[in-house]
Amino acid sequence: MWKDFKAFAMKGNIVDLAIAVVIGGAFGKIVTSLVDNIIMPLVGILLGGIDLTKSFVFEVGEGTIQFGVFLQSIVDFLIIAFSIFMALRLLAKLNRKKKEEEKEEAPVVVDNKEELLKEIRDLLKEKNN
């Protein structure tokens, strides 16, 4: 059972996926910091010097509704989603170019039947002339 698990875990796709998750987590932290510490304070300054995370907090009983924090999460998501979209678009473009190059390099394979038909055609031309 251990050998099967090890073979499964060491396949290229699983290792690539694990690396992508780690890098994605780190990228998410960077984007969250960008949104929390740079973008939202600039938006607050443009809106009259307010702190969106503290200004849009509504308390109902003991519960609080934090629209500013939710807005930050939306901006966070949009930046990450756009970045992933652009990365996938770039990868798709690179894969398309690679496939086009492979198609150009692929030799033309002639079928045996085609060769025989060509020989018959040539023999018939010679016989008719």
Q: What is the pTM of this model?
A: 0.60
In percent, the amount of the chain with pLDDT more than 90 equals 12
| Domains in the chain, CATH or no CATH each | 2-128 (1.10.1200.120)
At residue 9, the pLDDT reads: 67
- What is residue 106's predicted lDDT score, i.e. its pLDDT? 63
CA distances from 126 to 5, 114, 129 (A): 67, 18, 5
SS3 content of the chain, % helix, strand, coil (to 5): 80, 5, 15
- DSSP secondary structure of 11-70: SHHHHHHHHHHHHHHHHHHHHHHHIIIIIHHHHHHHTTS--HHHHTEEEETTEEEEHHHH
Averaged pLDDT, 92-103:
81
Residue 12 pLDDT class (50, 70, 90 cuts): low
d(CA 46, CA 50): 9
Provide the mean pLDDT of the chain. 84
pLDDT in tens, 62-81: 898 888 889 889 999 999 99
User: What is the token pair recorded at 60?
Assistant: 């109902």
